[in-house]
Structure 1
Amino acid sequence: MSDVVWSGEWVAERLDVRLSGDGLRELMGLALRRNPKRAHLLVSRVLGKHIPERPGTVYGVGLRLGRRVRELLGDSRADAAVVLGYAETATGLGHSVADGIGGVSCLHSTRRRVAGVAAAGGFEEEHSHATSHLLLPEDPALLEGDGPLVLVDDEFSTGRTVRNTIAALHRRHPRGQYVVVALTDMRSSDDAAALEKFAAELGAGVDVVALASGRVSLPGDVLERGQRLVAEAEAAAKSPAWQSSSDDAGGEPEATRVELGWPQGLPDGGRHGFTATHRARLNDALPGMAGRLADALDRAGVVPRTGAVSGGSTPPRVLLLGCEELMYAPLRLAVALEQRLGEAAEVRFSTTTRSPVLALDDPAYAVRTSIAFPAHDAVAAEQQPAGETAQGTRYAYNVAPGADPRRRFDAVVLVTDSTSDTPALHAPGGLLSRLAEHTDQVLLAVVPSYVPLQQPLRGPDFSSYAPEEVGWLLQDMSHTQLEAPTEEREEAIQSGGAHYAESLPVEYQPSAEYEQLFHSALEASAARVARAVGTVTETVLAERAAAGSRPSGGDEGEGRVAPRRPVLVSLARAGTPVGILMRRWARHVHGLDLPHYAVSIVRGRGIDANALRWIAARHDPADVVFVDGWTGKGAITRELADALAPFDGFDPELAVLADPGGCVRTYGTREDFLVPSACLNSTVSGLISRTVLRGDLVGPQDYHGGKYYRELVDADVSRLFLDTVEARFGEVRTAVAGDAAALLASDRAPTWAGWRAVERISEEYGIGDVNLVKPGVGETTRVLLRRVPWKVLARRGAGSDLDHVRLLAEQRGVPVEEVGELPYSCVGLIHPRYTRGATGPDGRAAK
């Protein structure tokens, strides 16, 4: 990488700056800052910020540093590490180091505030032109572990920024080890001693990994001399064409937009965290995205589709240009494009920056040309860190060719995020028009800006369950009026004027007699429920064990494996108590602490895609087990399979406590018996409502909604139900072992017997809509509590399991008809073709 003339000579001679250290001249040049706090800038040739460089070189340097970190830490400690890169310069480098370590998450600091995302910390960088750094992880737990924290910057100069960062984070979440990674370690002996003293006072280890080390010697009056040199150079330059100003006139830019096909829900970078799962999704998508870029360059006449360059011809030069903190995604795209095009093109990578640097078109100076343009991201001024605004000037260095035509790029592919794809970007004088002045083709690829999702809601703020029992991936609509009279809801639903998920029924308040029935049923069936809980849990654990271990993740982590651990995802809300009980069984019997979340699924509308996106960002989708209370005719089973089809990696198999409909393979029993949690509504489900999906309340980035009925706390029996069932775990363990073994050895294929029975009943009773036939004890109870029931069909001899059904039916004046041939204990029939005052097919009025 050596030049005939060193690109730092101009500054070194005039500013009396001296570099000492092996290999430093090959790694960097020098330029002058337009910054009152610092006179000089060490300009890296391998960072991809100020100097366009081969993408493979830029990415390879980060990978190499990451591998050295793994060697330093050892595999077990490295696997527990989290990487933090510094904005804006080292965001891409931090990602690359994380890739080199393998299988670890990374985060980068940011200077862009994001509405609705609370800062998990921050620190100051005194010497910078923009001093404030924010930490905005989507998941605050990312910074809460006790594994090593790896801090990545391009240059480790004095150590003040690193000390500020560690001190701020250590106050919140102390840990025993920090690793500082940089391209160059330029500290003085006093700086090194200060870091050692700081680490000793902190009681933690602080190690340093750098590509090269050396020293910078500066004269005492370096700031004054630097400012004088900048003023003289700017006066002499008089804004030549290669140092275009944002004040210059410019024509309407013509940029060709390229649709990358960026994976849905994949973060555009580490501003809010980037996990091993994210990295795997990006790796899978990169070849396709690089192919689309290559096709666009071919259509633009820049690179031939054949990939061949005629003899003696110079390959076209193509620059992928990222924007400020958005370095990693453009870098990986550039690497993939470089690999795809091979020798057919000379691909380079760099990014724009906020940093004001003097440009001089001299081979002995590192920043030869500058393109200045107005800031174009859409973040409001009041959301910016103190001392900054959304307005201002940004820069692209060494993109314009200057006086040397060999430096000209035949095409520039600008990669930005959607937050920055604003009118200012496209306006005359904006970045696109500035680029068009210096290249033949400008292409624009926009990566969707990642919008973080809220963390799961947990008790006691949302639900009466303990916070560790379940995380609700819902938005809290507790203060929104959603309830409507049962008759109004039924009429609107059956007329097609509303979907059942757009409103809530008024919460049923049980009579003293009904409450006593619940307690009696709970006492009578607790062991039966416990046995079914144990059986379905053991089946799930056995199936995951049979699936084997999984790689611990990461490009550099091959060969290391970790045991599969189920992630329970309950379908709110009937599945939630069952999911909690399964979690308790796994802990009680096996000492396993299984993650558990509750998500919304709506018949006819699908599953909450944002909730799946949140889960997939933190867990391997292959580990997810969807849980529900019971099956009826299998509508939700089918809905789940259809809803998961567009998502990669999720198993649509549903695990349920009871499967009387024969709809699933994984179940605790196929008997239709009373699960006491079906007797009540929110008061046995953590005081949470059924879920809500309504267009005016749930936006594209929102979870489905739910309400927390805090006012019903005196009637809440949610924990009583769980504790009563758990208390019977010990006595059913032997029976569960036999049940699970027999189940795993049997043919568990769904029979769909329930669906056939529902079709027969719908035809026999003249209903004409299978959605109005609700089979099973649980579904019949829901009909009596939430809908307008027409009649109940009870299997002759069903016994005490139906005591609560008979009482509810009596209270609502609904007839109970005993029948002989019925695969369920009972079936609830919703009043067909309901309008208030209407009668059913048998002439009976609705109650």
Structure 2
Amino acid sequence: MTQTTKDGGAVVWSGSWVAERLGVGIEGDARLPELLGLALRRNPKRAHLLVSTVLGKHVPQRPSVVRDAGYGLGVRVRELLTPAEAARATVLGYAETATGLGHCVADGLGGAPYLHSTRRPVEGVAPAGGFEESHSHATSHLLLPEDPHLLAGDGPLVLVDDEFSTGNTVLNTVRALHGRFPRERYVIVALVDMRGPEHRRALAEAADEIGARLDLVTLASGTVRLPASVLARGRALVEAHEERAAGAGAVGTRPEEQPAPGKAAHTPVRIDLRWPARLPDGGRHGFTPAHRAELDAALPAMADALTAALHGARRVLVLGTEELMYTPLRLALALEESADGSREVRYSTTTRSPVLAVDDPGYAIRTRLVFPAHDDPADGPGERYAYNVAGAGFDAVVAVVDSAGDSAALHARDGLLARLAGHTGRVVLAVVPSYVPPRPVSYLPPRTVPDAGRTAAGAPHRTPERAPMLPDPLRGPDFSSYAPEEVGWLLQDLSDADLEAPTEEREEAVQSGGAHYAESLPVEYQPSARYQELFADALEASAARIARAVGTVTETVLAERTPRPVLVSLARAGTPVGVLMRRWALHRHGLDLPHYAVSIVRGRGIDANALRWLAAHHDPADVVFVDGWTGKGAITRELADALSAFPGFDPGIAVLADPGGCVRTYGTREDFLIPSACLNSTVSGLISRTVLRPDLVGPHDFHGAKFYRDLAGSDVSGRFLDTVAARFDEVADSVAAEVKELLAAPDREPTWEGWAAVERISEEYGIHDVNLVKPGVGETTRVLLRRVPWKVLARRGAGSDLAHVRLLAEQRGVPVEEVDGLPYTCVGLIHPRYTRGATGADGRAVDAR
């Protein structure tokens, strides 16, 4: 069998040597000889090896060819899935050969989250699963995702291997994962499908067995023709050829028979790639769209550093190491793209797979370099191999290793670097930091406990004690009336605790300094039938306005912050907004965004344990904090101060309405009625405001909240969400125009106009405490529902946006004073000189003054 070159010449197929001697051959698609060669190896289960020419493992290849093969498969998967499915897909690649291929498939799928299996255990990272590869020389695969929920989504799981020969490994993986994380669809991706009829039937049977759809995407398909005696004949042929090669001193057959290490001129040159901090070196623990964007941004500078170190070398090999395939591929691709034809770049990686080398054009593995494993004990001792490097005429080789492999064995006289130096004029070493996920307690100071031993001075020796693992988020219907996928609450359930106190008692305790407002809860004020009618009318009237603001803030986040944000709403006012933003992203873009709710308490900061959980499960750079509106910006400042101790998180809040001019990511800066501010728990999933009290919340607990199950008959949380979401399509065009204008605005930085107004009002009305001035419709509403108000200031001429405020004020016996020059629609005032005795129209105490 031959292949034809572009100029019409014939070249020998790189599988003909094996085919002629053992009768092994491949049959099927005409493209197979371009994609595969054949080699032999010592393996009692399978003598032959299908050697891919586009994988970048055994055969040095142009990096663009390797990338395009995987990327094109990813595009085909994306076309196979619906947009919503593609947005929720996760890609899983197999170690070691398919780690880079899986990355490229994920890229072609639109930047899907990616994880590859690994044979390297990592201290402190518990496996989320594992499986065996029956035909391989090294069988144990571990799954070590940093985010344990990476494999638990309901979107399609895309499994990527270099070849689909029997399908047993993939099917075993599907069965194991489906038992823990069932889903409706799996897509199997490989460069080639070489299964026999019995294995094709097995795939269909497996789909029926688990009740899920199994699709297959490959570049080409066929079968391998194997004579009955192939194992014995293959073993004899390997032994005979190794004996002849040893006698002739063939290059690279054994370590002692290879050329001596290079001279001083060939001493490896180490370069600093300036690899970004916190950027994973690959997909061993997961690789997110944000990681891809960060790598894309850093690659040009890395390519420049490599180019400078190559000193004009024209023919260059970038050599990855075992599972580290994607990073060296991207480096090689950057070199290839920056060369403008002046440099010939090839890419391949080392492997643990022992293959016979035969210097014949009809054989896929013509030379091999043998060297000791250099990341022992992670991978275990033994030999490792680099194929088709010796004698290939490379002017320079760039060896890319991770820091775990930058060991003494790598630099030894018989190590990889020395072997490379014997076959090229220049060796460049680029070391990428081995990414290890932050420990779950990374944001908590270690506690210490007495140890049995003593220090040299006789004092008790104290050793660090790990904080207990934090629980998974609470979800409906067990906690809140929201659907479980809408929001996960990083809170503890305090529903059985007696936390409510009369409003006047709470106000007196807070103002006297005897208690913090977050140590108790107000009695949930249930509005009258008249007020509920007002809420319904306001919702219908403002639904499109709110939908437009939801769309604007969501599109701004996607355009400016991160393409796949993790929404973290500030409970509880921010939570309905976070749910609506999530719905917009899903409806308009097919993005199934994670959404959590956390507690932040004025004067106490944000829940540090919730941040610790988020950092352990997501990239902090993807976290976008969400709130309903800004008043004077107190919570905005509180969040910024709290996050100064937690690097990686962006303190910029995204809000639906920013009348105070406190943030740069907002849906609108108008101060209007957001109906979710009209009610308490009954529009917020039946969840109370958050609680932080030392006797209930320990140092390793989430803040708490209550779930008011008994109020289910009054719950309008779903009604609010559905009414607003139903208007998404009608406002889409106006949202697009607003976002375009917003992104083009020369300056959206906070003006803090609201804070200045609050200070002025505080002094003008003799309050002298900005915490008792609550600006904006939302804050004024909360004052009337939860505090003991003194009066309400209303902008003169304010219309329907204040109907509910006027009604609440009437029911509470609170005067409404119309004023000019108010930057907000209204402001609620709490008088600091609170006295008991006076009551309002509903019998509640009010300020006697």
Output the TM-score relative to the length of structure 1: 0.64
1:729 CA displacement: 5.9
**Residues 428, 633 of structure 1: alpha-carbon distance in 2 compared, 3 angstrom cutoff:** farther
Q: Per the alignment, do residues 131 and 348 of structure 1 end up closer, same or farther by CA in structure 2, a change over 3 Å counting?
A: same
In the superposition, relative to structure 1, how do residues 185 and 609 fare at CA in structure 2: closer, same or farther (>3 Å)? same
1:142, distance to aligned residue in structure 2 (A): 5.2
Structure 1 residue identity aligned to 2:627 = D
Shift of 1:361: 5.0
1:508 alignment partner in structure 2: 519
CA displacement at 1:410 relative to structure 2: 1.1
1:48 shift after superposition:
0.3
Pair 1:539-2:553 in alignment? no
The corresponding residue for 1:310 is: none
Contact 1:242–1:370, Cα closer than 8 Å, also in 2: yes
- Cα–Cα, structure 1 residues 764 and 630, in superposed 2: closer, same or farther, change >3 Å? same
User: Alignment partner for residue 326 of structure 1, among 324, 327, 339?
Assistant: 324
Q: Distance in 2 between matches of 1:189 and 1:123?
A: 24
Aligned residue identity for 2:473: L
Distance 1:344 1:801 in 2: 76
Partner of 1:395: 384
Asked if 2 retains the 8 angstrom alpha-carbon contact of 1:320 and 1:350, the reply is: yes
Alignment correspondent of 2:309: 300
- Partner Cα distance (1:246, 1:776) in 2: 80
1:281 correspondence with 2:293? yes
CA deviation map 1:194-239 (0-9, x unaligned):
5556556667565463425242324525247416724861695388
Correspondence 1:468 to 2:467: no
Identity %, equivalent residues = 44
Partner residue of 1:385? Answer: none
Letter in 2 for 1:320: V
Aligned to 1:386: none
Shift of 1:330: 2.6
- The answer on whether the counterparts of 2:474 and 2:491 sit within 8 Å (CA) in structure 1 is no
Q: Which amino acid aligns with 1:157?
A: S
**Of 703, 706, 715, which residue of structure 2 is paired with 1:707?**
703
Which of 431, 439, 444 is 2:430 aligned to? 444
Paired residues of 1:674 and 1:777 also in contact (CA < 8 A): no
Instruction: Specify the alignment match of 2:226 in structure 1.
Output: 217
Contact 1:40/1:226 (<8 A) preserved = no
Q: What does residue 826 of structure 1 align with?
A: 829
Q: CA deviation at 1:396?
A: 3.8
User: Which residue number in structure 1 is paired with residue 633 of structure 2?
Assistant: 634
Question: Aligned in 2, Cα 1:163/1:652: closer, same or farther, shift over 3 Å?
Answer: closer
Q: Is the 8 A contact 1:373 1:393 kept in 2?
A: yes
1:85 matched to which residue of 2?
A: 93
Q: Given the superposition, is the C-alpha separation of residues 331 and 505 from structure 1 closer, same or farther in structure 2, using an over 3 Å criterion?
A: farther
**1:106 Cα deviation from its structure 2 partner:** 4.9
AA at the equivalent of 2:117: S
Q: CA deviation at 1:376?
A: 1.5
Is 1:756 matched up with 2:756?
yes
Q: Aligned ranges for residues 44-63 of structure 1 at < 5 Å?
A: 44-63=52-71
Which of residues 249, 266, 273 is equivalent to 1:259?
Answer: 273
The counterpart of 2:119, out of the listed 111, 128, 135, is 111
* Residue 414 (str. 1) matches residue 406 (str. 2): no
Alignment partners' CA distance in 1, 2:154 and 2:202: 26
CA distance in 2, matches of 1:729, 1:176: 30
Q: What CA distance in whole angstroms lies between the structure 1 residues aligned with 2:280 and 2:811?
A: 50
Amino acid at match of 2:311: V
Q: Say which SS state the counterpart of residue 539 (structure 1) adopts.
A: helix
Q: For structure 1, which segment, 337-346 or 64-73, has the greater mean C-alpha deviation from structure 2 after superposition?
A: 64-73
Aligned residue number for residue 656 of structure 2 = 655
Counterpart of 2:354 in structure 1 is 356
Rounded to whole Å, the distance in 1 between the matches of 2:82 and 2:488 is 37
Residues 9, 266 of structure 1: alpha-carbon distance in 2 compared, 3 angstrom cutoff: same
Give the one of 335, 338, 341 matched to 1:337: 335
- Is structure 2 residue 169 aligned with structure 1 residue 161? yes
Q: Deviations over 1:765-784 (max 9, x none)?
A: 9999978988789989999x
Amino acid at match of 1:333: L
- 2:160 is aligned to 152
Are the counterparts in 1 of residues 159 and 188 from structure 2 also a CA contact under 8 Å?
yes
Instruction: Kindly state the Cα deviation for residue 538 of structure 1 after the two structures are TM-superposed.
Output: 4.1
Report matched runs for 1:123-142 at 5 Å.
123-135=131-143, 138=147, 140=149
> CA offsets per residue over residues 226-278 of structure 1, 9 Å max, x none?
1672486169538877457499998997542333554x666544445556x45
Instruction: Structure 2: give runs of 5+ residues left out of the alignment.
Output: 441-469, 495-514, 743-747, 795-804, 834-849
**Match among 444, 449, 459 for residue 475 of structure 2:** 459
Tell me what 1:382 maps to: none
Which residue type is aligned with residue 294 of structure 1?
A
CA offset at residue 445 of structure 1? Answer: 4.2
Q: Which amino acid aligns with 1:666?
A: T
In structure 2, the CA distance between the partners of 1:598 and 1:321, relative to structure 1 (3 Å rule), is farther
Flag the 1:8–1:545 CA change in 2: closer, same or farther, 3 A. same
Contact in 2 for aligned 1:637/1:654 (Cα 8 Å): no
The answer on whether the counterparts of 2:354 and 2:385 sit within 8 Å (CA) in structure 1 is no
Distance apart, 1:346 and its partner CA? 1.3
Aligned partners of 2:567 and 2:650: how far apart in 1? 15
For 1:825 and 1:752, the matched residues in 2 are separated by 18
Code of the residue aligned with 2:829 in structure 1: it is: C
Q: How many residues align?
A: 719
Q: Secondary structure at the match of 2:370?
A: strand
Q: What SS does the aligned partner of 1:36 have?
A: coil
Instruction: Report how far residue 419 of structure 1 moved.
Output: 5.5
* Cα drift, residue 350 of structure 1: 1.2
Q: Cα 1:328–1:639, aligned 2, differ >3 Å: closer, same or farther? A: farther
Cα deviation per residue 1:80-99 (whole Å; 9 max; x = unaligned)?
76544332212222333444
- Which amino acid counterpart does residue 68 of structure 2 have in structure 1? G
Secondary structure of residue in 2 paired with 1:330: helix
Distance change in 2, residues 1:15/1:48 (3 Å): same
How far residue 633 of structure 1 moved from its aligned partner, in angstroms, is 1.9
**Contact residue 48 and residue 58 of structure 1 kept, 8 A:** yes
Does the Cα contact within 8 Å between 2:90 and 2:155 map onto a contact in 1? Answer: no
The question of whether the paired residues in 1 share the 8 Å contact of 2:570 and 2:600 is answered with: yes
Structure 1 residue identity aligned to 2:41: R
Distance 1:717 1:773 in 2: 29
User: Match for 1:54: what amino acid?
Assistant: R
User: Cα–Cα, structure 1 residues 372 and 669, in superposed 2: closer, same or farther, change >3 Å?
Assistant: same
Contact 1:318/1:412 (8 A) holds in 2: yes
SS at match of 2:337: helix
Aligned partners of 1:98 and 1:215: how far apart in 2? 28
Question: In the alignment, does 2:47 pair up with 1:35?
Answer: no
3-state SS of paired residue (1:366)? coil
Instruction: Classify the secondary structure of the residue corresponding to 2:525.
Output: helix
Cα–Cα, structure 1 residues 267 and 299, in superposed 2: closer, same or farther, change >3 Å? closer
Note the aligned Cα RMSD (angstroms).
6.5
One-letter amino acid of the counterpart of residue 458, structure 1: L
1:519 aligns with 2:525: yes
Matched to 1:397, the amino acid is A
Contact 1:583 1:594 in 2 (8 A): yes
Assess, with a 3 A threshold, how the Cα gap between structure 1 residues 542 and 525 changes in structure 2: closer, same or farther: same
Structure 1: where are the runs of 5+ without partners?
Answer: 304-314, 380-389, 479-503, 554-563, 699-704, 784-788, 808-817, 831-847
Q: What letter is aligned with 2:329?
A: L
CA distance in 1, matches of 2:661, 2:298: 45
Query: Which residue does 2:371 correspond to in 1?
Result: 372
**Within 1, Cα distance between the matches of 2:832 and 2:661?**
16
